[in-house]
Amino acid sequence: MTDRAYVLFEEEQAARGIKLNDVKAKLKGLRIETPSWGYGDSGTRFKVFQKEGVPRNPFEKFEDAAQVHKLTGLAPSVAIHIPWDKVDDYGKLRSHAEGLGLTIGAINPNLFQDDDYMLGSITNADAAIRRKATDHLLECVDIAKETGSKDLSLWFADGTNYPGQGNIRKRKAWMQEGLGEMYKALAPDMRMLIEYKCFEPAFYHTDLADWGMAYNAALKLGPQAEVLVDTGHHLPGANIEHIVAYLIDEKRLGGFHFNSRKYADDDLIVGSVNPYELFLIFYQILSAANDRDEAIQACVDNIAYMIDQSHNIEAKVPAMLRSVLNVQTQFAKALLVNHDEVEAAANRGDVLGAEHAVRSAFEFDVNPLLRAYREEQGLSVDPMGAYLASSYGKDIAVRGKGGASW
């Protein structure tokens, strides 16, 4: 690569003690899972907006996902949602994915769109509904085994809107009971990733409202249960980087659902509102990756990076491209932090020096680095431009409107 901008960037980083060959090697290891539902029709609580060219079935969702991976080299797996992606033959879906160069990623049970679940699923006061919900969790474990998936991603809408509507302590016990039955059904190489959300759709209390509740549930279940951090599922002002560092230190950070939010809900493209937060999350992860504790390193190595976004007004495939590229950009910037410099400044009490050593990495323009890296990997140096110049968006328009939706 002889691009002058890259040469200057390489010289600047070398002066800081950063070797770009090492950075590129770590960039090569970044994998971001995209969600099947991000390619389908979706909307707000008021309306689902139908778009031309949206996939009509799970097989077409994988075809769109394959375009994202082809252009970026970043997204080789696709999470599926049951029953949104329910098919008669999961072996056929798996073969279809593998034929496109993809694998089936996390299996996501749906326990919030059935009329029976209006007052809760596995925390419902009705034992028959709890049984129905638990059976669905077990069904998803079977689907994971059939598709080769190793992760079960769990989010529950369970909660209450009013005081007295439900017995909070009983619901807590029912939650643990349902999770426990699912945990026993896992294969030895599978994980349960337990997600949380402070509110919505339950406005008085949510049964898994924060990372501490999810962590406590995981501890009681065993080592195959870990916490999933959704970057949009926090109250304003929450220090997500702190949560990430804490869970890594406890060896219980299992994965992320990347997205963004300005106020409450979480369907904005990751990095579109607060890219510095995303950078700082990666800073904490990469700092832990240097830890001498093998268990800490193993935790970091097994973090599942997943997108969880429903693109309501955006064109689906380019929106997903933007999502994964934003993650790659902030990951690349975090790789430029000189951790020795940060630690030295912190140890001598140089507050501003330590903060500068972190922030200066964020302020670098990493486009020369990413262009060089993509060229070396045989990828388009401008994935978004390559997609917009291609005919794929026009080609899939023949699908018409009325595709798969949630």
Domain ranges of the chain: 31-337
pLDDT in tens, 258-285: 999 998 878 899 999 999 999 999 999 9
CB neighbour list of residue 34: distance below 8 Å, 6 or more residues apart: 65, 68, 75, 77, 78, 79, 306, 307, 320, 323, 324
Question: In this structure, what DSSP letter does residue 381 have?
Answer: S
Decide if pLDDT at 403 tops 80.
no
d(C-alpha 256, C-alpha 324), whole Å = 13
> Can you state the angle between helices 20-28 and 316-334, rounded to 10 degrees?
140
In this structure, how many other beta carbons lie within 10 angstroms of the beta carbon of residue 241? 17
What does the pLDDT read at residue 2?
Answer: 60
Q: What percent of the chain has pLDDT over 70?
A: 99
pLDDT in tens, 51-85: 899 999 999 999 999 999 999 999 999 999 999 99
pLDDT in tens, 218-240: 999 999 999 999 999 999 999 99
pLDDT in tens, 153-181: 999 999 999 999 999 999 999 999 999 99
Residue 55 structure tokens: 């996939």
Decide if pLDDT at 130 tops 60.
yes
Residue 243 structure tokens: 């949560």
CATH class, 31-337 region: alpha beta
CA angle 386, 51, 383 (to 5 degrees): 15
Quick one: which of 153, 144, 307 has its CA closest to 231? Answer: 307
